[in-house]
């Protein structure tokens, strides 16, 4: 399939990381679908992408964090497009609510819901659309916070991120022979838009180009691409070491 024949569902496509991925995919000629609970975020995404690619962007308001919501939005999505690839960039990049003894069970449940449950539910619903086709891909974007405490007060972020990392490991090992190209990009540094870049951070547009390269190439499966710095972004992904 050429890029123009492929439709990439970008879960979390209205966020900072996801918007960079969406723009890069559209610029490469892919068709892209994005789901968000908020129409306003989808409208901002439409105004962000290149004007000449807007016709290739499908946006749907829906909730992929619940089984019923995800199933409902899948049916709506399939009426509009045939999904060939999935990029999962769900959750959030930062949480600093305080040390565990100051938090409630509800706080922990919210973090796990955002970082694990939504990833699991969306995978369960959308993975069957691509799993049996060797020309299809499913790419998880995860963070490195699950391997260490970033700073005091971020403990629940570590717990949630660790659960997401573990889930991706389980999938690689539980489905060793699946036809679909199943990969993970693990980002252990900050990601920001151009106007908010700080030293060592990744520009979300450059990261988007790298993720788009992984989707486009389809040359590896069950791989983890570790990105710890802007230099890694270039050497691991943009130099086609995929």
SS3 for 50-100 is CHHHHHHEEEEECCCCCHHHHHHHHHHHHHHCCCCEEEECCCCCCCCCCCH
pLDDT at position 241, please? 55
Please give the average per-residue pLDDT across 20-28, as a whole number: 97
**3-state helix vs strand vs coil in the chain, percent to 5:** 50, 15, 30
CATH of the domain at 177: 3.40.50.720
pLDDT at position 13, please? 96
Q: Are 3 and 29 in contact (CB under 8 A)?
A: yes
pLDDT at 240 over 60: no
Q: Are 101 and 148 in contact (CB under 8 A)?
A: no
pLDDT at position 242, please? 59
Q: pLDDT tens digits for 50-91?
A: 999 999 999 999 999 899 999 999 999 999 999 999 999 998
The count of domains in the chain is 1
Does residue 107 lie in a domain region?
no
Does residue 75 lie in a domain region?
yes
DSSP letter at 242?
-
Q: pLDDT tens digits for 6-23?
A: 999 999 999 999 999 999
Q: Are 56 and 26 in contact (CB under 8 A)?
A: yes
pLDDT at position 85, please? 98
Does residue 174 lie in a domain region?
yes
pLDDT at position 129, please? 97
Domain around 29: 3-94+120-149+163-238
Does residue 112 lie in a domain region?
no
**Tokens matching residue 223:** 């791989």
Q: How far is CA 161 from CA 5, 7, 15, 95, 184, in A?
A: 34, 28, 17, 11, 14
Q: Are 172 and 218 in contact (CB under 8 A)?
A: no
Q: pLDDT tens digits for 148-203?
A: 998 999 999 999 999 999 999 999 999 999 999 999 999 998 899 988 888 888 99
Does residue 132 lie in a domain region?
yes
CA distance linking residue 57 with residue 43, whole number of Å: 11
Q: pLDDT tens digits for 92-140?
A: 878 999 999 999 999 999 999 999 999 999 999 999 999 999 999 999 9
CA distance linking residue 85 with residue 83, whole number of Å: 6
Does residue 100 lie in a domain region?
no
pLDDT at position 136, please? 97
Does residue 178 lie in a domain region?
yes
What angle is formed at CA 4 by the lines to CA 232 and CA 62, rounded to 5 degrees? 80
pTM above the 0.85 mark?
yes
Mean pLDDT value across the chain? 93
Does residue 154 lie in a domain region?
no
**Tokens matching residue 23:** 């723009």
């Amino acid at each position: 399939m050429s890029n123009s024949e492929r439709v990439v569902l970008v879960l979390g496509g209205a966020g900072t990381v996801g918007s960079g991925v969406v723009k890069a995919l559209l610029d490469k000629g892919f068709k892209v679908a994005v789901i968000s609970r908020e129409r306003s975020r989808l409208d901002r995404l439409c105004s962000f992408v290149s004007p000449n690619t807007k016709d290739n962007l499908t946006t749907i308001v829906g909730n992929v964090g619940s089984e019923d919501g995800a199933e409902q939005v899948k049916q709506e999505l399939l009426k509009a497009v045939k999904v060939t690839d999935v990029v999962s960039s769900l959750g959030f990049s930062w949480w600093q609510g305080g040390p565990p003894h100051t938090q409630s069970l509800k706080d922990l449940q919210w973090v796990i819901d955002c970082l694990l449950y939504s990833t699991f539910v969306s995978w369960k619903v959308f993975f069957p659309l691509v799993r049996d086709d060797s020309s299809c891909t499913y790419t998880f974007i995860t963070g490195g916070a699950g391997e260490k405490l970033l700073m005091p007060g971020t403990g629940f972020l570590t717990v949630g991120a660790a659960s997401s990392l573990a889930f991706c490991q389980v999938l690689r090992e539980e489905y060793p022979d699946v036809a679909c190209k199943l990969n993970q990009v693990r980002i252990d540094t900050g990601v920001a838009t151009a106007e908010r870049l700080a030293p060592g951070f990744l520009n979300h547009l450059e990261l988007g180009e790298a993720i788009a390269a992984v989707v486009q190439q389809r040359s590896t499966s069950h791989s983890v691409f570790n990105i710890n710095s802007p230099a890694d972004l270039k050497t691991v992904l943009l130099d086609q070491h995929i």
